[in-house]
């Protein structure tokens, strides 16, 4: 780990101004950032501690709920309102890490966690995300965990989180304070970026931006399911995950909000799947058509070719579970 300066922000404007400076990064729980600093993947000049900011509450927000950026994963998953009205979110958080990590990890930090690509975390290997222009070692190398959707010739890394996949299905929004005093809300579905030609940018945050909250819309009816497929049943990153909110009426799909993890550089949401399903009776041929839409541009890179049929089977399994039909 390289030497760095430490500052403690006692007010939001102090945090945004401090993190606007070159080489400065905000830190809350630090469960991802400290690891990357030890590996010298992240080398901030200054760490700005934001834990003193009043962003650790879960409160009613209109018809929905607001989760402060400093709410720990444990507190979010255990909140009675979240467990009752947004069980998808609680299940995704509980699938994501050990209890010890959940006790420290925060809502804002969870959204900002970086890929676990082997080439990204090894500074002796080429990685366009870590060092733009150095190449992507994963494309012709170790790619088992890597993306099959939304990739580019610059990067095939995946976003590793679970919480954001559930938030994408729930159509939540990220509230962001800027260094100029402004505030904006960005849908979770638009918060993370695909790699394109700038894989070093994981999300839409600009220098000086500080996440203050995540807002959830009004609760909806239907079944909420989070299914995570991983190499072992203990804590591991998803090979494929599906977050689903399925509501049926008169034997037909009335609502079908779906998001996918482990397949792309961001939580993957394809509105065409909902359009295909809503109004239709559930059936395996229909589920196959949904998978065809999801995977029409999928590309494997050798070691991760298995993710294409895995995603198809996982989607079908979730839809069967939600609708009660036999596969």
- Domains for the chain: give ranges and CATH numbers: 5-49 (3.30.43), 223-323 (3.30.390.50)
Kindly state the DSSP code that residue 71 receives in the 8-state scheme. -
Mean pLDDT by groups of 10 residues along the chain of 327 residues: 95 97 95 97 97 97 97 98 98 93 97 97 97 97 97 98 98 97 97 97 97 97 96 87 98 98 98 98 98 98 97 98 92
pLDDT value of position 44 = 97
Burial class (CB within 10 angstroms; exposed 0-12, middle 13-18, buried 19+) of 326 = exposed
pLDDT value of position 183 = 97
In sequence order, which ranges of the chain are alpha helices (DSSP H)?
12-20, 33-38, 73-78, 80-85, 87-94, 99-104, 107-112, 163-169, 188-191, 271-277, 284-295, 307-323
Q: Which residue has the tokens 């030609």?
A: 197
pLDDT value of position 97 = 85
Burial class (CB within 10 angstroms; exposed 0-12, middle 13-18, buried 19+) of 251 = exposed
- Tokens for 149, please give them: 């959707």
pLDDT value of position 327 = 80
């Amino acid at each position: 780990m390289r030497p760095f300066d430490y500052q403690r922000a006692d007010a939001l404007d102090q945090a945004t101004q401090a993190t606007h400076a070159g080489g400065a990064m905000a830190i809350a729980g630090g469960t991802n950032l400290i690891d990357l600093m030890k590996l010298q993947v992240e080398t901030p000049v200054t760490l700005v501690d934001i834990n003193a900011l009043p962003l650790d509450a879960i409160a009613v927000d209109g018809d929905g709920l607001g989760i402060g950026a400093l709410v720990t994963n444990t507190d979010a998953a255990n909140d009675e309102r979240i467990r009752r009205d947004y069980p998808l979110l609680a299940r995704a958080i509980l699938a994501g890490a050990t209890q010890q990590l959940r006790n420290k990890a925060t809502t804002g930090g969870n959204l900002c966690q970086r890929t676990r690509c082997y080439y990204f975390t090894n500074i002796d290997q080429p990685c366009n995300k870590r060092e733009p222009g150095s190449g992507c070692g994963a494309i012709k190398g170790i790619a088992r965990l890597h993306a099959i959707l939304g990739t580019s010739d610059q990067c095939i890394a995946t976003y590793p989180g679970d919480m954001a996949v559930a938030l994408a299905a729930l159509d939540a929004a990220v509230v962001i304070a800027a260094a100029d005093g402004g505030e904006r809300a960005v849908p979770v579905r638009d918060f993370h970026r695909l790699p394109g030609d700038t894989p070093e940018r994981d999300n839409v945050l600009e220098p000086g931006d500080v996440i203050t909250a995540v807002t959830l819309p009004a609760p909806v009816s239907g079944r909420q399911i989070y299914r995570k497929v991983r190499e072992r049943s203990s804590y591991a990153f998803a090979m494929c995950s599906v977050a689903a909110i399925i509501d049926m009426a008169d034997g037909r799909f009335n609502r079908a909000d779906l998001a996918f993890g482990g397949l792309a550089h961001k939580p993957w949401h394809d509105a065409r799947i909902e359009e295909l399903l809503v109004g239709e009776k559930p059936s395996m041929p229909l589920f196959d058509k949904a998978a065809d839409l999801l995977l029409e541009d999928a590309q494997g890179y050798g070691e991760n070719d298995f993710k294409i049929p895995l995603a198809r089977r996982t989607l079908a399994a979730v839809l069967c579970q939600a609708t009660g039909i036999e596969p």
